[in-house]
């Protein structure tokens, strides 16, 4: 079946010509959710070209990114496999996948006779292959495209990237008075100015979209070309990008289909489409409408054309974001958003070097530290609940958590069960800490994708049961946790110690048992046991454990840095060990060393001298 489609094109000759297959121009942009685009209802947004495209095409009202940040999101796009299912979900990780098993979608399009181009962002977060290898070109040459039809061309615009929201916010073209603040943001001048500053950038991005559309029209290929526009995830002011709320995942998606390919249209042009589209669906859909192979490993559904399938739920995930550890899942339908926090002790608003470059983030934290935030605007800087539920139909900013409301209990059960099954079906690779999975996969000689599909090494069902029990905060589980602390499986021991940690504030623990865990083979089990002891007043044992691991460059070093920062009691007891730590974790340990003021001094370059 692999080569059936291209073979058919050869055999049929002129019957299936290039003209019978659409070109696709995919105009991607970065870091903006629907609230920054005029046609999605913000009267202050200045996006006339995108708005016009929506009147000519189809505006999808429920399109969501699977990851709220670029690299994992693009990892999902290029393969048609969830980053969480491959182990490519942690930001800037570039773990390998079995490339002999998983092709990139441009490979499959080329097999079907397409010329493929990408100008020019890749950022696929995948090791073992150069990101650019799958593409025929990384520049836009309209004359060349005209000669190479059918083509699939990606043009990625960077003018709406988060970095464009940095810098001076005092001299904006857009007025700070004409912004629609999210409910979770305090109404203070610098936040308003940063909104205005980003509106300016969105206007510049929109102008580029307009230029690309004009270039397409001028080339004479518009009647043969399907145009797609969307962002790569949500954003961009703090508590949007990187987070699984609407603000981080609800993306604009507009598709214009020329009359020649009207059989692919979901409705009449200008229609707003209410069906759910998940980013994972895009790969399979593009392949399907181009007549290319759609391998069985693809995890999305086709959402466009005669083979379109309905989607009831969308799943998204958050794990490590640069130097900051976290682990979150979310599932939603058109109305409800359910979020499960596997690390509720990690604050939403933990300091992230890159995010804190933005003036709005700095101003928000200053406002909070001054005691001026309220329950809604200050929540970002606190720890998380185990679970969250939002009715997005009336609460698009996701500020009213309904998880404890009895009237919504059935919704929680429904969404939680569906998420559990999704995690099993898709081999959730983050049911253990990142570096634990990496270490064990390397020891097995497998990629993470292969490792998590081997139940003898990574039992997804067992890990899901253990993690669910750990999050219950049910004292009746304590004896089961104690039993699992002696399990041969490090995953069972990890979730047992996490379960004890989650119960500590409400249930007396046997500290002698916890003390013994400090010698566990798994460093992640040790550090959570140490944290329990620290909270119980035995700071000496905890500090000795963390310092020993740091001095010996433990594979769990990044988590230790994070925990010490979350505790907030200062770094003095750990300074020497932190400086001695040489575990890199992709360079993010060094970021934490710098942030926490324990970075090693740069070695001075020695001047060569000649002996006399």
Q: Which residues 6+ apart lie within 8 Å of 406 measured at CB?
A: none
CA-closest candidate to residue 199, choices 231, 222, 175: 175
> How confident is the model at residue 20, as a pLDDT?
87
Q: Determine, yes or no, domain membership for 112.
A: yes
Same structural domain, 491 and 591:
no
pLDDT in tens, 197-224: 999 999 999 999 999 999 999 999 999 9
Residue whose tokens read 């080569």: 3
Same structural domain, 489 and 579:
no
Q: Determine, yes or no, domain membership for 419.
A: no
Same structural domain, 116 and 154:
yes
Percent of residues, the chain, with pLDDT higher than 70 = 95
Same structural domain, 488 and 524:
no
Inform me whether the pLDDT recorded for 367 exceeds 60.
yes
The residue among 509, 543, 575 that closes a domain is 509
CA-closest candidate to residue 427, choices 465, 470, 466, 461: 461
pLDDT in tens, 17-48: 667 899 999 999 999 999 999 999 999 999 99
8 A C-beta contact, residue 292 and residue 308: no
> How confident is the model at residue 377, as a pLDDT?
98
pLDDT band at 6 (very low <50, low <70, confident <90, very high): very low
Inform me whether the pLDDT recorded for 456 exceeds 50.
yes
pLDDT in tens, 269-293: 999 999 999 999 999 999 999 999 9
Q: Determine, yes or no, domain membership for 244.
A: yes
The residue among 509, 536, 570 that closes a domain is 509
Q: Determine, yes or no, domain membership for 480.
A: yes
Same structural domain, 593 and 478:
no
Same structural domain, 264 and 282:
yes
Helices and strands, number each (H, E), in the chain: 22, 13
Mean pLDDT calculated for residue range 551-574: 98
> How confident is the model at residue 486, as a pLDDT?
97
The residue among 275, 303, 331 that closes a domain is 303
Q: Which H or E run contains 301?
A: none
Q: Residue 296 sits in a domain of what CATH number?
A: 3.40.720.10
> How confident is the model at residue 309, as a pLDDT?
97
Token reading at 230 = 């969307």
Residue whose tokens read 């990892």: 75
Same structural domain, 498 and 537:
no
Q: Which residues 6+ apart lie within 8 Å of 543 measured at CB?
A: 534, 573, 574
Same structural domain, 532 and 500:
no
Q: Determine, yes or no, domain membership for 350.
A: no
Inform me whether the pLDDT recorded for 10 exceeds 90.
no
Same structural domain, 504 and 531:
no
Alpha carbon 561 to chain centroid, angstroms: 22
Q: Determine, yes or no, domain membership for 498.
A: yes
Helix (H, G, I), strand (E, B) or coil at 28: strand
Q: What's the CA gap between 361 and 170, in Å, rounded? A: 15
Q: What's the CA gap between 94 and 470, in Å, rounded? A: 30
pLDDT in tens, 471-489: 999 999 999 999 999 999 9
Q: Determine, yes or no, domain membership for 415.
A: no
Mean pLDDT of the chain: 95
> How confident is the model at residue 474, as a pLDDT?
97
Same structural domain, 469 and 577:
no
8 A C-beta contact, residue 284 and residue 73: no
Q: Determine, yes or no, domain membership for 407.
A: no
The count of domains in the chain is 3
Inform me whether the pLDDT recorded for 498 exceeds 60.
yes
Mean pLDDT calculated for residue range 522-531: 98
CA-closest candidate to residue 537, choices 498, 565, 511: 511
Q: Using alpha carbons only, how large is the chain's radius of gyration in Å?
A: 25
Same structural domain, 543 and 501:
no
Same structural domain, 66 and 193:
yes
The pTM of this model reads 0.95
Name the residue range of residue 82's domain.
4-303
8 A C-beta contact, residue 256 and residue 267: no
Q: What's the CA gap between 96 and 87, in Å, rounded? A: 8
Q: What's the CA gap between 596 and 204, in Å, rounded? A: 37
Token reading at 109 = 């399009």
């Amino acid at each position: 079946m692999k080569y059936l489609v291209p073979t058919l094109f050869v055999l049929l000759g002129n019957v299936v010509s290039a003209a019978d297959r659409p070109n696709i121009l995919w105009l991607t942009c970065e870091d903006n959710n629907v609230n920054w685009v005029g046609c999605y209802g913000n009267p202050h947004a200045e996006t006339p070209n995108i708005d016009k495209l929506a009147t000519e095409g189809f505006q999808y009202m429920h399109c969501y990114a699977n990851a709220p940040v670029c690299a994992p999101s693009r990892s999902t796009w290029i393969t048609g496999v969830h980053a969480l299912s491959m182990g490519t979900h942690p930001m800037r990780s570039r773990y390998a996948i079995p490339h002999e098993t998983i092709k990139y979608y441009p490979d499959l399009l080329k097999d079907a006779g397409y010329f493929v181009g990408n100008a020019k962002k890749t950022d696929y977060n995948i090791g073992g292959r150069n990101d650019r290898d799958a593409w025929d070109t990384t520049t836009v040459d309209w004359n060349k495209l005209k000669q190479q039809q059918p083509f699939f061309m990606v043009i990625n615009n960077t003018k709406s990237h988060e970095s464009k929201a940095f810098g001076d916010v005092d001299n904006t073209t857009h007025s700070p008075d004409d912004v629609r603040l999210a409910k979770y943001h305090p109404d203070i001048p610098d936040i308003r100015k940063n909104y205005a500053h980003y509106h300016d950038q969105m206007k510049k991005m929109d102008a580029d979209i307009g230029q690309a559309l004009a270039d397409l029209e001028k080339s004479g290929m518009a009647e043969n070309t399907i145009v797609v526009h969307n962002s790569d995830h949500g954003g961009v002011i703090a508590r949007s990008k990187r987070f699984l709320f609407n603000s981080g995942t609800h993306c604009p998606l507009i598709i214009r289909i020329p009359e020649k390919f009207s059989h692919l249209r979901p409705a009449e042009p200008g229609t707003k489409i209410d069906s759910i589209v998940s980013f994972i669906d895009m790969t399979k859909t593009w392949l399907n409408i181009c007549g290319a192979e759609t391998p069985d490993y693809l995890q999305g559904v086709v959402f466009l054309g005669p083979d379109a399938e309905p989607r009831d739920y969308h799943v998204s995930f958050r794990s490590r974001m640069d130097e900051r550890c976290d682990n979150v899942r979310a599932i939603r339908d058109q109305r409800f958003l359910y979020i499960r926090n596997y690390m509720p002790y990690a604050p939403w608003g933990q300091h992230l070097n890159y995010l804190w470059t933005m003036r709005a983030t700095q101003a928000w934290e200053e406002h909070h530290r001054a005691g001026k935030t309220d329950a809604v605007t200050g929540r970002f800087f606190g720890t998380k609940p185990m679970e969250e539920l939002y009715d997005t139909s009336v609460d698009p900013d996701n500020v009213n958590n309904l998880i404890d409301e009895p009237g919504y209990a059935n919704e929680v059960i429904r969404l939680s069960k569906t998420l559990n099954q999704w995690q099993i079906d898709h081999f959730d690779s983050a049911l253990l800490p990142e570096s634990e999975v990496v270490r064990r996969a390397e020891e097995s000689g497998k990629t993470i994708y292969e490792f998590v599909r081997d139940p003898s090494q990574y039992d997804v069902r067992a890990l899901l049961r253990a993690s669910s029990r750990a999050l219950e905060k049910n004292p009746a589980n304590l004896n089961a946790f104690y039993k699992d602390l002696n399990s041969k499986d490090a995953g069972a021991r990890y979730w047992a110690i996490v379960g004890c940690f989650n119960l500590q504030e409400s249930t007396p623990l046997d500290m002698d048992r916890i003390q013994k865990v400090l010698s566990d083979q798994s460093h992640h089990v040790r550090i959570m046991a140490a944290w329990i002891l620290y909270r119980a007043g035995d700071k000496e044992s905890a500090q000795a454990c963390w310092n020993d691991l740091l001095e010996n460059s433990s594979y769990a070093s990044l988590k230790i840095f994070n925990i010490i920062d979350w505790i907030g009691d200062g770094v003095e007891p750990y300074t020497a060990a932190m400086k001695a730590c040489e575990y890199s974790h992709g360079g993010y340990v060094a970021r934490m060393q710098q942030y926490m003021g324990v970075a090693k001094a740069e070695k001075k370059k020695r001047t060569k001298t000649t002996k006399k």
